[in-house]
Structures are given as structure tokens and as C-alpha cells.
Amino acid sequence: GVDLKERVTMKPEEVGPFVASLRAMSAELADLPMPTIAALDGAALGGGLELAMCCDILIAANNAKLGLTETKLAIIPGAGGTQRLTRVLGPALAKELIFTG
């Protein structure tokens, strides 16, 4: 994921290009013409979870910890994580993860 301490200190004019690059990378991964698999073992937080959600198949170990931690800092996940999370997990579980970080 992204270093949230760095993200919080970004100047307003830096945020747009940064978020655009995250979205472009996510779209490229999601649109690959071959199946993609994310294997989650341990923490998949913020951008790490957003990246995993771009894959066709997600496999998580029992010890996997998932979350969009930037929401605790009132930062909207830059790669479309809140929308993608709802599509992948359904509204109820997505809300739980978003509200609890």
C-alpha cells in the first residue's frame, strides 16, 4: 500500500496526478487479458487490498487482515477501493470494512 504519512503531507496539486496514476495502474491490472490471482497472507491494507481486488481471483489465508485504513484518516481510497470492495464482497461486508478501517 501507500505510506499514509506521505499521502497526508501531499500538496493539493500533487494529489490529482497521484490518484490518477493509482487508478490507471488498477485499471491496467483489472483489464489484463489473462487471469490474475491475488494470494493474501498477512496484511493487505489500503492500496495493497485495492491492488488485490483488481485480480480475478482472491485467495486469503486464515491470518489475512484486510482493510482500507485510509478511511480512518478521512481519505477516500484512491484506486476506487470503496466501489470495487462493494462489487467484490457485497454492500454489508464492504461497509463493515470501510467503517472500521
Does residue 58 contact residue 88 with C-beta atoms inside 8 Å? yes
* CATH number (domain holding residue 57): 3.90.226.10
How much is the pLDDT for 4? 63
Does residue 27 contact residue 75 with C-beta atoms inside 8 Å? no
Strand partners, 67: 45
How much is the pLDDT for 3? 61
How much is the pLDDT for 75? 67
| DSSP state, residue 28 | H
Cα angle 52, 87, 100; round to 5: 70
* Regions of the chain where pLDDT drops below 70: 1-5, 7, 70-81, 101
User: Residue 67 is part of which domain span?
Assistant: 4-100
Strand partners, 59: 39
- pTM score, whole prediction: 0.71
How much is the pLDDT for 34? 97
How much is the pLDDT for 12? 83
Strands 57-60 and 37-40: parallel
How much is the pLDDT for 66? 80
How much is the pLDDT for 32? 97
Sign of CA dihedral 3, 1, 23, 29: positive
Domain count, the chain: 1
